[in-house]
Amino acid sequence: MTTGPTDLPPPGPRRLRLLSYNIRSLRDDRHALVRVIRACEPDVVCVQESPRYWRPRGRAAWLARATGTEVLAGGGRIAAGPLLLGGPGVELLAVHDRLLPKTRGLHARGFASALVRIAGSAPFGVTSCHLSLDAEERRGQFELLLDQLKIAELGVVAGDFNEHPDGAGWQLLAGRLQDGHLVAPWGGTFTSVPENPYQRIDAVFATPGVRVLACGVPHGLPGVIEGDLRAATDHLPLLAVLELPAG
């Protein structure tokens, strides 16, 4: 399902372009992935499934160089997969990566989190997450996301939640935060799978103090090629335009 026009709100004071993207450990077409990210012109990229077992920091650094960004947080053992990249207009104030409690036999999970600021804005927190496939463990991780928001009065959480909007954990976040695509629908709704999108398991959530201007899959955005979206990874990205209060 696609909603709204393809035109994004134009750049403006304290406006942030945030891209959330599960990149499947760079196992697919890396060049297509880089083209998609660059075409979206993000200020911040919330990455999920950044390579984590073989040279994770080096491969995160490669992705940053290829996309014209810098590593802000994550990309190591603590975040356990999530990664934050930032463009030249993003000021890093502090890193708040967090390794989550692990259920025996399941993958280690973590949050890549940073306190940042853009020109003229108040400081705000950004967290990239990739939650568990196990429902019980995942519910606890949703609760920890709310705790992670305490790093700043303003905050954004983006990622692959491995849950649908009617799930208990998703509803927990939606009861306290803004679900970006519901607040300002733009582009496509479904993020999985690229060849036949039929489910919404990725999202951008923001605290009430952040104004959501647009959020959705960037179908039709100039420079974003549908073939690249299908080749880059097994998820579709979410692009959000957010407006921050003045600092």
Confidence of residue 1 (pLDDT cuts 50, 70, 90): low
Structure tokens at 11: 């750049």
* pLDDT tens digits for range 84-137: 999 999 999 999 999 999 999 999 999 999 999 999 999 999 999 999 999 999
Q: Say how many domains are in the chain.
A: 1
What is residue 65's predicted lDDT score, i.e. its pLDDT?
A: 97
Q: Is residue 20 over pLDDT 50?
A: yes
* pLDDT tens digits for range 131-142: 999 999 999 999
Pick from 87, 40, 24: which is nearest to 215 by CA? 40
CATH number at residue 197: 3.60.10.10
Q: Considering Cα of 193, then 196, then 199, then 205, what sign does the dihedral take?
A: positive
Angle at the Cα of 165 (from 2 to 239), degrees rounded to 5?
A: 45
What is residue 52's predicted lDDT score, i.e. its pLDDT?
A: 82
Domain that holds residue 97: 2-243
Taking the model in full, what pTM does it have?
0.96
Helices 56-67 and 30-40: crossing angle, nearest 10°?
50
CB 20 within 8 A of CB 187: no
* pLDDT tens digits for range 141-163: 999 999 999 999 999 999 999 99
**Considering the chain, what percentage of its residues have pLDDT values greater than 90?**
92
CB 242 within 8 A of CB 210: yes
What is residue 183's predicted lDDT score, i.e. its pLDDT?
A: 97
